[in-house]
Chain A
């Protein structure tokens, strides 16, 4: 842009300096946590630098077995729920989105408005009666309360995201397929879904990260330590060991963050696209 051409070399450099300082300030806590996890607990409190003087992975070894179950038990619990949530959201939200974006049926506008209204609905309004419902179904201390709603398009955010995306796809392809005699199920599966892979990828990445991070509903529905997910286990670790085992806590916290970081590296294009197209998060 015009200003960039006018802005001199020194101005550009100072801008980059400012941006880099901001970035370092923002990432310093994270880097410090990573380095602290590789230090003996006593030195965490004395050493604010992020270069560990010696690499000590003892915290990872000790932290892994510090709770009732080994840490991978909780990671697997989290992963099972997160993967099922991804599958459920992709299937159910894309079906609903296809209907809203491509089909003309009575009540479409009202249903669409209802779907948008639920976007803003705080989970706290629903959680108490949902708990009552799940208690009556005997679903407390199972994964069902966390998984079944995902297969029923409960995450309106992703329905909305996919509607926005499908509306942007050229209709000519559907129409050509219709002339060839394709039904809507086939058009959905053979034409719209393959073209929607970017939106599906965005939804998958976000669903995974949010489910992996989710604490509130997992805390409420999973009270049996055997079913605990990674966040619930970490929280109990902190409350149980308290301030005495920071090194181990940090080590396990990093293990818990690692998958998110991996998804961030692999899928950041989809993440920023997702935010830009829907404007959320």
Chain B
């Protein structure tokens, strides 16, 4: 295979353009039409050349590099120094790392279910031929586009601050609020709410899934006298399980990688008292705050292992509850 790759690398320059004239000799034309044969290696690798270079330079190289660095001490200033498993051993005894894992798990396992239940609920409300569907869908989807931005993180910090919008509204009811973003018990909750606010994206996927369920199923159930509740539990929900599964996997992977919001809202430190120290924040702090590149690489590999393990578990459990039709 490496030989093939070399050939691809050597043919960066495009081949001489083929004349389009219909008078071209027949055997050449037939090459394209020959079924099954592999006459398209050269052109295939030519089209993939940018992808090959990018894959080697920015994905495979860095993956191997980060694996190597994870066994070293490296601060950019002098060459990496081999440490063996020391970084991983240090992780076992690093209280902030443990805290960041706890915060991340809490964040993922609370915010993703809330987000997906909202997404499913609204999708069900919108599904039944509601007038103005496109309008509602856009309104609910908009936050998903904006939520990743620094602007929204700034807004959130104000809304849940001491004198923020939430406390102003609470004051109407005579309740005096605290600064939610600065309170160790509530700060993570504001991030969970921010993630829940982005239910529009999975909702759009649910809507597409709901549209795939044949209407005839509902009609048959109605003839048999099944009520709304029965139809939901015996038709909609089972038919939708593949989409639910898909959303769970995707949103969990995404939530594990959240960074911007926690970083901006906590002023880059994951505070108060590490209450919003997501794993990625701690990784950033070690890697780019103190340029502890070896330790940060080890952390990255543990993150990858965690995401892979959880995705694997998801697929394992999927056999029990995901329904793939007959």
Contact = CB atoms under 8 A, between A and B. Distances in A.
Interface of A: 1-4, 7, 15-16, 18-19, 22-23, 26-27, 29-30, 32-33, 44-48, 91-92, 95-96, 98-100, 103-108, 111, 114-115, 118, 120-133, 135, 149, 151-154, 159, 175, 178-186, 188, 209-210, 212-213, 215-216, 219-220, 230-232, 234-235, 238-239, 243, 246, 249-250, 253-254, 256-257, 260-261, 264, 268, 271-272, 275-276, 279-281
A258 to B, nearest CB: 10
Contact of A279 (B1, B57, B142, B250): B250
B145 A183 contact: no
Given A104-B38, A178-B32, A257-B151, A18 B125 contact: yes
Contacts, number: 308
A253 B20 contact: no
A128 B66 contact: yes
The number of chain B residues touching the other chain, given as a range, is 35 or more
Interface stretch (B83-91, B107-115, B161-169, B316-324): B161-169
A15 B32 contact: no
A26 B37 CA distance: 56
Given A181-B22, A182-B18, A260 B44 contact: no
Contacts of B21: 181
Contacts of A268: 138, 141
B54 A103 contact: no
17 contacts: A96-B51, A99-B44, A99-B48, A103-B47, A104-B36, A104-B37, A120-B253, A149-B54, A181-B19, A210-B148, A213-B149, A213-B150, A215-B263, A231-B149, A257-B149, A272-B204, A276-B204
Contacts of A7: 128
B117 interface: no
A3 B151 contact: no
Contact of A231 (B126, B150, B219): B150
Contact of A253 (B29, B155, B159, B263): B155
B197 interface: yes
Given A132-B293, A281-B201, A238 B48 contact: no
B256 A2 contact: no
- Max chain A Cβ within 10 angstroms of own Cβ: one of B17, B142, B301: B142
A230 B208 CA distance: 34
- Max chain B Cβ within 10 angstroms of own Cβ: one of A181, A238, A243: A181
Contact of A1 (B122, B129, B253): B129
B105 interface: no
A44 B155 CA distance: 12
Interface string B275-307: 000001001100110000100110111011001
B96 interface: no
